[in-house]
Amino acid sequence: MSYFEQFMQANQAYVALHGQLNLPLKPKTRVAIVTCMDSRLHVAQALGLALGDAHILRNAGGRVTEDMIRSLVISQQQMGTREIVVLHHTDCGAQTFENGPFQEYLKEELGVDVSDQDFLPFQDIEESVREDMQALSSLL
């Protein structure tokens, strides 16, 4: 069975279990969480959240990017969230590279010039959270 087939089968079971909950569209806690896409991070379980409790927005490193801001504006202005949690974590993939070498790697491997792209790597978690909180406080 392919992963896709497994996902479809799991989704049928999920819909059978949760399909009739009729939860409100707006998150119950009025919280939006910005966090990493790391597959080891199960945000709902880690924070004790249930379905419908919070918006969970994810990308590489849990960084505040232009598209993260777009989602946060919708979350706050259309869906009623009032608090934002920035959640970075230890042993993050964003701590495993630096822009320059990664840009060179992509040029060699894929033949693309991404020399102007900041992939937002970081070394210090507290510093990266402060940077992202600063970015948010100047916008929202």
Cα(28)–Cα(32) distance, integer angstroms: 11
The three-state secondary structure class of 35 is: strand
Write the DSSP symbol of residue 3.
H
Q: How far is CA 69 from the centre of its chain?
A: 11
* Pattern 91-120, Zn ion, x by CB under 5 A: -x----------------------------
132: nearest Cα among 66, 75, 79: 66
Q: Which stretch binds Zn ion (CB under 5 A): 8-16, 47-55, 89-97, 122-130?
A: 89-97
Which of 36, 49, 68, 84 lies at the binding interface for Zn ion (CB under 5 A)? 36
Which of 32, 38, 86, 128 lies at the binding interface for Zn ion (CB under 5 A)? 38
Spatial contact of 23 and 11, defined as CB atoms under 8 Å apart: no
Q: Which stretch binds Zn ion (CB under 5 A): 10-18, 49-57, 84-92, 118-126?
A: 84-92
Binding residues for Zn ion, rule: CB under 5 A, are 36, 38, 92
